[in-house]
Amino acid sequence: MAGILIYRGLGDRPYAELRLPSGERIGIAVDAAGATVSLVDDASVGRTLFKGDGSVIAQLAVAMLEPGKRPPAPLDLLIALVAPMPSASAIESSFKGAVGVLAPPATAAPATQTSSTDPFHGKSRAIALLILCEMLAMAVWFASAAALPALRNSMQSGGPILEALLTSSVQAGFVIGTLASALISLPDRYDPRRLFGWSAALAGLISFASLALPPGSALQVVLRLLTGICLAGVYPVGLKIASSWARKDAGLLMGLLVGALTIGSASPHLIAWADGLDWRGIYIAAGLLALLSAWGTRYLTLGPNLGKAPPFDPRQVLRAWTIRPLRLANLGYLGHMWELYAMWAWIGLFLQASFGQSLGMHQAQFWAPVATFATIAVGAIGCLAAGIAADRIGRTAVTSAAMLVSGICALTVGLTFAGPPMLVLAVCLIWGVSIVADSAQFSASVSELSDRALVGTMLTIQTTQGFLLTLVSIHLMPYAVDWLGWRWAFAILAIGPFLGVVAMLRLRADPASAKLAGGKR
């Protein structure tokens, strides 16, 4: 079976479709300006393969395959240019060997074909929906951190190790899932929208399953590990979908997605604040949000730049550290990650303890969750601002400034402990903005500094190393609180961003930094 040609007339605008046995459809739209040849899916016109100019009209000539052979890839199609407008019979004759020709009435044109032939048509809607789905799915990530004050009252034993494991196991699962996905190229084998949706749905169902287990049990830790594995099919895949819409605004799009992750990670704390829900209510609400995200992915659309990511090559792991510019960018990222997730995991308990001394425990239980949500969620503003600034003034400048501010906040936030609540909150909000503002720019830097064939490998190495490092800082924090108290516990996190500043300033001085942000370093 070679394919099925469908010829339609859109008023005075001819339109033809070729359906391949693989299920792919190639659309040919002709108007006064020329012809547009595009991939077509069930929802919209997708990536443009060819667009004619002037009066040039495109006619497809497809090499028919023998039965049993794989159909030609869309980009392998031969595009032949002809001057006269092809008739229906002329198009039909170009596809000798096709199984059949369907000719619906001229008025039966699909609604999707009347839209603009601009391949970026619908970009704003697509990115807005993607951000919403990302934000909803991420609610399950820090559900345990938000529920920890309530879990402490229900857990029979465990201590700081178990408390840290409820969050760090998600990080470990994310690393496992990211590596597995990269090794078998899951986002390239399957429609990324479906992969995103199924991953979010499984994460939501796992959140529900936690309700059947004793709070703080070893099995709950296992379920949190599985949650992290599922989220590896959400966040990185979301970045892939967003990048398919990039048009000289990659830094901004990545910043928007990290901002969505930030608000989503903060949302369980807002859930905890609403009506004083216990840990079960937090898990239920987070699971429902993840399922809502999965439902929303049914309406996601892919951009015209979607393509297969460069394959992960584990043999190239050492190149991330032997090539100086990449090494410096990775060191900056590790400094950033040392601080970020440990702060997100423990800032809620810090605020509850601080407010407990200044306001009393009853008021603290009410205000600490909403203050924690604000501290984490405000980082979305930093992501957006940094995304715009990095594309204009340079990545090393933005990342260095953000880490300098966040490192100072890590050193000083403890000095406000048990002080006026508005002062504590003000410092936390500044910390929340600066601590995540630079996150997307490290990935952008590695992408720009790497050989094109190794971008996928370098990004996978960067992500896995960063999240593995968070396991250390997250587990170190409760011991720092025991040894140093809340006044100085967060100071140990300042080491990361300060070393990160040194790395990024050295990268700025390296000639290779001219590759960053179009030469803006």
pLDDT at 315 exceeding the cut of 70: yes
Give the per-residue pLDDT at 310. Answer: 65
Give the per-residue pLDDT at 29. Answer: 56
Give the per-residue pLDDT at 517. Answer: 67
**How confident is the model over 269-296, as a mean pLDDT?**
86
* Nearest CA among 275, 437, 289 for reference residue 370: 275
Strand, helix or coil for residue 325: helix
- pLDDT category, 117, cuts 50, 70, 90? low
**How confident is the model over 208-228, as a mean pLDDT?**
88
- Residue 343, token pair as written in the block: 């702060």
Domains defined along the chain, listed by start: 4-114 (no CATH), 122-299 (1.20.1250.20), 315-521 (1.20.1250.20)
- pLDDT category, 449, cuts 50, 70, 90? confident
Residue with tokens 């392998």: 76
Give the per-residue pLDDT at 146. Answer: 83
Cβ neighbour number for residue 299 with a 10 Å cutoff: 12
Q: 22-36, 121-135, 166-180, 277-291 — which is least confidently predicted?
A: 22-36
Q: 32-41, 279-288, 509-518 — which is least confidently predicted?
A: 32-41
Give the per-residue pLDDT at 157. Answer: 53
- pLDDT category, 292, cuts 50, 70, 90? very high
- Residue 13 β-bridge partners: 10
**How confident is the model over 230-237, as a mean pLDDT?**
89
Give the per-residue pLDDT at 68. Answer: 38
Q: What is the DSSP letter of 245?
A: T
Alpha-carbon distance values, 389 to 135, 253, 441 (Å): 23, 13, 10
- The top-scoring range by mean pLDDT among 7-16, 176-185, 405-414, 450-459 is 405-414
The helix (H) or strand (E) run that includes residue 192 is: helix 192-209
Q: 61-65, 347-351, 424-428, 432-436 — which is least confidently predicted?
A: 61-65
pLDDT at 365 exceeding the cut of 90: no
pTM, entire model:
0.70
* Proportion of the chain above pLDDT 90, given as a percent: 35
pLDDT at 516 exceeding the cut of 60: yes
Mean pLDDT over each residue of the chain, to the nearest integer:
76
Give the per-residue pLDDT at 343. Answer: 94
pLDDT at 127 exceeding the cut of 60: yes
Under 8 Å between Cβ of 301 and 244: no
- pLDDT category, 514, cuts 50, 70, 90? confident
* Nearest CA among 437, 406, 398 for reference residue 254: 437
What is the rounded CA–CA span in Å between residue 290 and residue 197?
Answer: 9
Q: 65-74, 313-322, 353-362, 470-479 — which is least confidently predicted?
A: 65-74
- pLDDT category, 432, cuts 50, 70, 90? very high
Cβ neighbour number for residue 218 with a 10 Å cutoff: 11
Give the per-residue pLDDT at 287. Answer: 94
Give the per-residue pLDDT at 101. Answer: 33
Give the per-residue pLDDT at 44. Answer: 42
Q: 69-73, 190-194, 434-438, 455-459 — which is least confidently predicted?
A: 69-73
What is the rounded CA–CA span in Å between residue 392 and residue 442?
Answer: 16
- Residue 179, token pair as written in the block: 């590596």
* Nearest CA among 477, 71, 489, 127 for reference residue 303: 127
What is the rounded CA–CA span in Å between residue 204 and residue 199?
Answer: 9
- pLDDT category, 423, cuts 50, 70, 90? very high
- pLDDT category, 351, cuts 50, 70, 90? very high
Give the per-residue pLDDT at 28. Answer: 58
What is the rounded CA–CA span in Å between residue 295 and residue 286?
Answer: 15
* Nearest CA among 504, 368, 361 for reference residue 428: 368
Give the per-residue pLDDT at 112. Answer: 41
* Proportion of the chain above pLDDT 70, given as a percent: 72
73 vs 339, higher pLDDT: 339
Cβ burial 267-290 (10 Å sphere, 16+ → b, else e): bbbbbbbeeebebebbbbbbbbbb
- Residue 130, token pair as written in the block: 């993607």
* Nearest CA among 176, 174, 460, 500 for reference residue 334: 500
What is the rounded CA–CA span in Å between residue 376 and residue 264?
Answer: 9
